[in-house]
């Protein structure tokens, strides 16, 4: 099956990324609105201030000889400074390589070498990791850091004023971004994306209706990933929305940020959607500002999507994208109306896809799984990317590419795509129940999990365990919570002599709670 959307192929503007993102930054209706806000401190520039800071930093980079042909690695958390650094590098004509802050030093060094990076911009608390990586990446000769740190140049010295340099750029032929593919049994690869490709990817989302100018949006997918960068940050800046930059990763931190900043649209991985659906702590936060939750980064079950939507009273939609496609390619905006909550939809305008038998290469019929391939509406450039030949898997310049995703999927007869997981892995196993996990422990004879009253959360899960040998309750607590999803973790493990059951085998919960003095 080969499918394209019924919507007409959008005409993409032949402009640079900087022009596509900041063209309207000074408009009276949006210039004074916050652009990127730090979730912890609330600080951050307006759209007009962000555009001015980007121009000033780009001018500073140009003064220091950083421009076309230079690869600049970014090792920064999700903060307003990430947006300034990224777009300053692009506006200077150089090419940024964003890297996750969790990247180990050895992998960071490999990416620096593979990309040909000669400049690094980092963050004070990340400087030690960066310096360890640089010992194995001798090509990097200049390091800038936000804040005042010894032996490195402060990023602030680039902000000496001035406008971004006028750099001649061919949108179809010059790289705007280096991104990393997902590793499927192999280390991630560095992939160059042209200005035209990045613009096409951000415009797909900006025009999809997922985000509006009045929205406050949040991405739990890091900006260093193309889905966070071109799925939320760049489209939101283009539209004049406010982006909440969240450098933390805790579940309760997410809930607090949504509440405190009145987030309206959240892009989340499936495990955090499940947290919103099932975590008992959700009831302690005011999350009614949310008008949409978008899940991406893996399959989400229809049950979890339905539970989250019912609990928050807002639609939950699935999205899908690829680094090589410069962001999101599928977004199921009609999931609730069509009853397809576990589908990523038919594809955004101009995106073609096919499901292929991995063994034969033949297109699969409806409901037959295979590998998902994508084709995006951007021509493969025939010119240069980083000052050398175009580096592409498809050797034919000027032709569109079918991109293998490495993901297993199937489509229904209406052309809706369902993601099953990474190729060869099939559907993920359903989450384990904590009592079953405890019962499987070699030092446990029997186990049961019972909800107990809690003054703050209403009910919290307590585990009762009959040990089969010497074992500490704290060890069992760590064991069970390491083997269940975050929203199914238990609060305490109680060691007991017996799990009381009725003649029908039902656990007598009240007896257990009374024995542990947990009844009010």
Mean pLDDT for the chain? 88
Assign 12 a pLDDT band (cuts: 50, 70, 90): low
The band of 400, judged by pLDDT with boundaries at 50, 70 and 90, is: low
For residue 293, pLDDT beyond 80: yes
The reported pLDDT for the residue numbered 431 is 60
Q: What percent of the chain has pLDDT over 70?
A: 90
Average pLDDT over residues 206-215: 93
Q: Per-residue pLDDT tens for 248-290?
A: 767 788 999 999 999 999 999 999 999 999 888 898 899 999 9
Query: Residue 329 above 50 pLDDT?
Result: yes
Q: How far is CA 126 from CA 81, 101, 144, 313, in A?
A: 14, 7, 12, 39
d(CA 453, CA 350): 53
In CATH, what class is 17-168? alpha beta
For 324-344, what is the mean pLDDT? 90
The tens digit of pLDDT for each residue in 42-74 reads 999 999 999 999 999 999 999 999 999 999 999
Integer angstrom CA distances of residue 447 from 326, 406, 488: 48, 40, 15
The average pLDDT across 386-407 equals 56
* pLDDT of the residue at 379: 47
Model pLDDT for residues 122-135, shown as the tens digit of each residue? 999 999 999 999 99
Q: What is the pLDDT of residue 396?
A: 34
* pLDDT confidence of residue 399: 44
SS3 state at 307 = helix
Q: Is the pLDDT of residue 224 over 50?
A: yes
pLDDT at 392 over 80: no
pLDDT digits (tens, 9 = 90+) for 140-168: 999 999 988 988 999 999 998 888 999 99
Q: What is the CATH topology of the domain spanning 434-515?
A: GMP Synthetase; Chain A, domain 3 (3.30.300)
Asked whether the predicted pLDDT for residue 426 surpasses 60, the reply is: no
Report CA-CA distances (Å) from 5 to 65, 78, 235, 345, 414: 45, 33, 21, 10, 11
Count other Cβ atoms within 10 Å, centred on residue 148: 9
Q: Which residue has the higher pLDDT, 217 or 182?
A: 217
* pLDDT for the residue numbered 377: 67
Lowest mean pLDDT among 1-15, 476-490, 501-515: 1-15
Q: Which of 97-111, 374-388, 447-461 has the lowest mean pLDDT?
A: 374-388
Is the pLDDT at 225 greater than 70, yes or no? yes
Q: What is the pLDDT of residues 178-201, one digit of tens each?
A: 998 875 566 888 999 999 999 999
Dist. CA 316–CA 302, nearest whole Å: 10
Under a CB-based contact definition with an 8 Å cutoff, are residues 423 and 407 in contact? yes
pLDDT score, position 350: 85
pLDDT band of 460, cuts 50, 70, 90: confident
pLDDT of residue 327: 93
What pLDDT sits at residue 389? 35
421: alpha, beta or left? (left if phi > 0; alpha if psi -120 to 50): left
Lowest mean pLDDT among 20-34, 208-222, 320-334, 395-409: 395-409
Per-residue pLDDT averaged across 493-504, rounded? 91
Q: Where are the domains of the chain?
A: 17-168, 434-515
Distance CA 131, CA 143 (A): 9
């Amino acid at each position: 099956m080969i499918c394209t959307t019924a919507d007409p192929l959008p005409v993409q503007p032949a402009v640079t990324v900087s022009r596509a993102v900041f063209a309207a930054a000074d408009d009276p209706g949006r210039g004074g609105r916050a652009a990127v806000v730090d979730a912890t401190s609330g600080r951050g520039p307006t759209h007009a201030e962000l555009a001015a800071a980007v121009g000033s930093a780009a001018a500073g980079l140009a003064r220091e000889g950083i421009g076309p042909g230079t690869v600049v690695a970014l090792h920064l958390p999700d903060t307003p400074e990430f947006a300034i650094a990224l777009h300053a590098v692009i506006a200077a004509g150089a090419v940024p390589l964003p890297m996750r802050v969790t990247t180990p030093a050895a992998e960071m060094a490999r990416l620096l070498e593979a990309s040909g990076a000669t400049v690094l911009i980092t963050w004070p608390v990340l400087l030690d990791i960066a310096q360890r990586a640089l010992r194995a990446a001798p090509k990097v000769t200049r390091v800038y850091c936000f804040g005042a740190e010894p032996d490195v140049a402060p990023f602030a010295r680039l902000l000496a004023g001035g406008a971004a340099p006028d750099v001649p750029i061919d949108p179809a032929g010059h790289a705007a971004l280096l991104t990393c593919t997902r590793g499927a049994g192999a280390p991630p690869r560095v992939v160059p994306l042209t200005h035209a490709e990045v613009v096409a990817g951000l415009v797909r989302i900006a025009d999809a209706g997922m985000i509006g100018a009045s929205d406050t949006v949040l991405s739990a997918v890091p900006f260093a990933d193309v889905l966070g960068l071109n799925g939320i940050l760049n489209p939101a800046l283009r539209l004049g929305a406010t982006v909440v930059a969240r450098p933390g990763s805790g579940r309760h931190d997410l809930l607090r940020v949504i509440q405190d900043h009145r987030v309206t649209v959240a892009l989340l991985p499936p495990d955090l959607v499940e947290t919103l659906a099932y975590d008992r702590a959700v009831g302690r936060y005011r999350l009614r500002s949310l008008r949409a939750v978008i899940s991406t980064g893996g399959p989400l079950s229809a049950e979890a999507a339905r539970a989250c939507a019912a609990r928050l009273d807002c639609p939950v939609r699935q999205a899908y994208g690829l680094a090589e496609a410069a962001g999101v390619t599928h977004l199921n905006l009609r999931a609730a109306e069509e009853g397809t909550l576990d589908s990523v939809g038919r594809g955004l305008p101009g995106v073609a896809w096919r499901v292929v038998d991995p063994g034969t290469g033949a297109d699969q019929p409806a409901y037959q799984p295979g590998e998902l391939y994508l084709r995006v509406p951007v021509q493969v450039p025939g010119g240069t990317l980083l000052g050398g030949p175009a580096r592409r898997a498809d050797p034919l310049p000027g032709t569109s590419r079918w991109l293998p995703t490495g993901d297993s999927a199937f489509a229904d007869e209406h052309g809706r795509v369902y993601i099953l997981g990474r190729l060869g892995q099939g559907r993920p196993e359903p989450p384990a129940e904590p009592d079953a996990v405890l019962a499987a422990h070699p030092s446990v004879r029997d186990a049961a999990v019972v909800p107990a009253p809690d003054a703050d959360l209403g009910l919290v899960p307590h585990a009762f365990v009959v040990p089969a040998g010497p074992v500490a309750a704290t060890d069992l607590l760590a064991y069970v919570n390491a083997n269940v999803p975050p929203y199914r973790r238990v609060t305490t493990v109680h060691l007991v002599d017996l799990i009381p059951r009725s003649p029908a085998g039902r656990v007598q919960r009240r007896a257990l709670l009374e024995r542990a003095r947990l009844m009010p």
